[in-house]
Structure 1
């Protein structure tokens, strides 16, 4: 066979295999046997091996291609992958309808089951799948293109050459696949996944796509994020169009114009949730008409045109066998209930966190009690109540001495937890290293709990800064460490030096400062050195920060140990600056407060315009405020601004200011 003949045959096989993939994985109506499909695929593989120049990116053979990757590249989402407001009662659904009807005439709603999986973005150019990424924090996710290609229901080539299309979907693991996976894990004496959602997330983030391919993940697409060259007027129209393009769209969606019918559909989905072949944790209600969505707008957190109804979790009774105490990286002593195993929301559980002594006292929990357990959000086990107390026992008391180091524990006035304040406590030290090396912090591949234990036991590290002074010989001196693993760990430590300041701040474990707060802190102050001289008031001015977080930040950087630690990290070459900058700095240093109702902007749109120019938006008025933008029905914030003599902009003046700064 010459190349021209091969080209024709490759094209035929590619087209036929794509069609059979769609029929099998999307439409659930296969028209050929697995044997015949495999024979066609085998022929295509042979042809591509003989004529490698004929291999195309959308070839069915490329679904499980590529080498294992050590890291996932970051992907900044042009359109934020936001979340929906959760509601838990049908009365709240009725209230949602009332608010919608205040601004939208005769709205129609689409009701969909809420798939319990992992949200992803799929991007196509000229009809070809070019990139897939995780949701991440909604703003920045991870590039998992190769792994997504292993999901057969994701089309590599669309039925129309759309110039550009970005869709959002939910990757999930079917219940039967999950059950089989857990069984294999148990047989291999591996720790099994807790539930299908965790299994899907873990499978999609495998470093080797070939492993992901064995997990038999699936996807439902439920939204168009961006599209070029096509105008769509409604959500239903967009779903129909996605089906036409070859996507497996969210199932069983229904359109209603009556909120009572919406509520009936929510109840119907809930009553049948166990019959689905996949996990669901609720129902989603969306306004259908896109123009009405524009009118309704969004709050700073959620769109006003949609909500997620969450079903109450399943509850079961069991016997409390013991209470264990774990010491966290901040010294907090956390009690954990150990009870007779029960099956909840599709998985077996035998442990649940009891939070603190107040929680235990409130419920009068004693070892031996019969307790009620449920899964919060169908994921995290929690003790709801005590059905029957054990006889001749007292309410459990958290020990006065740390179970890890033996030092006396303390409880500060403003806290509910008991803490070990010994900075050399082995449990805290160990957890701090694990946190510092974790994926969302410094992401040091290979520095897991077992490796941390070895380094600590050998006395090679005492603070996280010591990691950057390790030598290859130190690693090779540990038990069962070979040349390759030592090289890999040293390379991972070296690579982590280039991380953004936000990752370092999160990794340092500042109390009350999570991943998002660390990012905001890094963006607000730009470099580590500035944080050693900031005041609580300056930190409080950062959007999303309150007094407690501000005090934690100031206290952390006032500690001499922090200065010593940061200096050693800096000397080792660890990056101390934030690279995530606003698109413009024309409003840099300016803080805005929005109050009242704006007619030309939603709050989120106004906030985005300000931040795109380098400005900040705060929720409270203070002496640090530069401008207060006052819309209709402005309240107490306007009065406070007048009292403080702060410049007040009406909507027209605000629009002029933005236009001037953008050169319009």
Structure 2
């Protein structure tokens, strides 16, 4: 039996459930991956804990082990409500409402033999309906591993218990889009996040993508990084009806089963934990019907994990474009699930340090046949390998939570391209310097922000851009210097670790922009909201960008100065101390300008409405749902003109 220990998040979930079972028994169950030695009541509570942790984003066992637990419990308790009903969500998001239509779970199969048995039932139903079984079509789609929801065009609901869910329309109000820029109202689907985006931008802050999915629909205190991911289109609601699929005759499917399943499994850039097979003929669907938990005409095919014990040869650090240094374990080549595995990514260097991953360590590696391998357990720990210097630029590495990070944003080859992209994206005042153009310029030797601003129109032509594009790019650079931007946004654009927009604004409420580079960690730690470790990382990060910052700053950007705290305490302002949210299209000014002005009057500007919101300022094209939702929370809703009258 492997040792199992709950993390703080899992313990918090268990405490909220208030289950009457000894924590040591849970440790034994999840460590041994067996519930055979527990009585019926204990088995139920173990399942309840496993389900709650999984749906909150902190799973305690693999899907296949959980399914085994379910099978054992079902054998002795076939009519137990936990077995006969949809496993409910556990996150409390507000008042429960009836779903427009039922959302059931999906039955599971782990072998081709089980799929054949399911097809036999489909064929039997066709025969009972006097349908030609040779014309039976099966639709195969990726089984998205996201957060199940239902969109009726007006509201977005959680799946809940399959009959009643909770209203999470606020996710769309925050900017969540339908996948592929699709229309609202397409029914059941999943809230998912792009895997590549998560790995590149969020994996150092969140344990897994399910944490993000839960954060997207949270009632309040939504993480800024999650809001940014929504804005970037990385988080979407993906309706099942629109998902990529293979549809064809069931005999064609079974004749080339492995290849077709593999093709569909890897068809989307989101987390997938299987594929879903379903009969397409509505007559067969109506005839077969459903249990209280599953549709009989539908089944999910999943793959049991295969594992092996593998020896580590070395641990290689690799710096990502975001500056995070990722440990990669080089392994003695080992055959697992039909593939030879010679390397595996260790999640972060805290894991390397705490679990003793280094040359000679023995790891249990798991591969599900169709996905990348992962470390399941450290069988034998050794002295870990922890680098001190960035492998790309040899800068001194710093710890950020569980990760080692290179703070050298401007001279680290692994990061320079991302630094340029981040700068222009954060400024947000020109359209010419997106990732594709930056990549082209970076490949041709442009590595620094000040180098870009030194380019003339004819030099862009020499880099392979057309005449018109070259002039446009040159003009865009001039515009980005001339249009006023906030000084906190300008500083944030340099991508210093721990210096997002909010922290930049906090610092600039106390010190002028150029003075920040003379501050000590102790100076920063005295400011409310900054811990000593964060302060030390900020000081080191500012030192790393200092030379590049002043080369760019001296070009003469038009910077709006952040008001000092003493200047903002204007008690005469009618919105001083109020929390305001702007929504819709404003007629008498840009929304960003109005938000900036509201801050200067002492208001706190938020992006979404909560019970703590004072005013919702509604411009044009605002849905009644959002307005009514705000009023239900006791928020005062003002039109644009009413707001302007108020502050006048």
TM tier relative to shorter chain: 0.3 to 0.5
